[in-house]
Amino acid sequence: MKIFKDKQTLQKEISKTNGISFVPTMGGLHKGHISLIKQSKRFKLKTLVSIFVNPKQFNKERDFRNYPRNPKNDLKILKKLKINYLYIPKYKDIYGFKPKQKVFLDKFSKRLCGRYRKGHFEGVLNVVNRFIEIIKPKYIFLGKKDYQQLYLIKKHIERRKIKTKIIECKTIREINGVACSSRNLNLNKNQMKIASNIYYYLYNIKKKIKKNYNLFNINKIKKDLIDLGANKIDYLENYNIKNFKKLKKASKKFNLFFAYHIKNTRLIDNI
């Protein structure tokens, strides 16, 4: 595994390859990241992982400061996975140049997380656009847990006619059903139990809605989530995952999208 901390040295190295499989991360690596990396390695290109906690996608300074960081453990995991390249850029390396492509932000960015985290998706698309320009990957591997983010990145790539393909990867879950997330490290044992109960409650609700859409009573469901231990619900909505239109009748092609807080930790998921 070769480690790079500046883009010039990295670009010189990867220019010798016949293509890069890129896995962008903010560190705090977990089973979800490991799954993305293993999927990347199946494509038989050089695998490049980045670790960069992007300040521009945090709308609260406290959230940025509290984001879980564990660089020693991250290195241990990546060495074991035998990736080819690790890119750990400094802020100036990413933001010290003007990208050629202007970010395209689809109107769907105003819904779900976009309504509650002002500037979040602008920050995400900004950094992804810059990574693409630096690395020029053939493939980018993204998980479906952050489905809205995945959708918006895909729309940007399509609109700007960028020659990079997104590989969508399934959500990896803990044994208790909770979607793997770096933020889970901020939860204690009791809080993880709450998150597990919320997941299974919503999983069962979705099964019922498939048969009878009238059972989708948002106010009741939100009240039940509070009773289960959530401190605040940002949103609970359902969308057709093909066109991202809201569901109005019983259908099998939809996901429940939700974001909630347990104390100071915000969790998102879709099922």
Residues assigned a catalytic role = 33
Q: How far apart are CA 153 and CA 109, in angstroms?
A: 10
- Report the distance separating Cα 225 and Cα 271, nearest Å: 15
SS3 call for 5: coil
Residue pair 182/26 in contact by the 8 Å Cβ criterion? yes
Kindly tell me the burial class for residue 166, based on how many C-beta atoms sit within 10 Å of its own C-beta (0-12, 13-18, 19 or more). Answer: middle
Separation between Cα atoms, residue 192 and residue 267, nearest integer Å: 11
Q: Which two tokens stand for residue 141?
A: 């591997």
Q: Which residues pair with 44 in a beta bridge?
A: none
Q: How far apart are CA 33 and CA 141, in angstroms?
A: 10
- Residue 129's Cβ-side half-sphere holds a number of Cα atoms within 13 Å equal to 24
Please report the DSSP string for 146-208 in residue order.
GHHHHHHHHHHHHHTT-S-EEEEEPPPB-TTSPBP-GGGGG--HHHHHHHHHHHHHHHHHHHH
CA distances to 15, 136, 217, 220, 238 from 250, in Å: 51, 42, 13, 18, 11
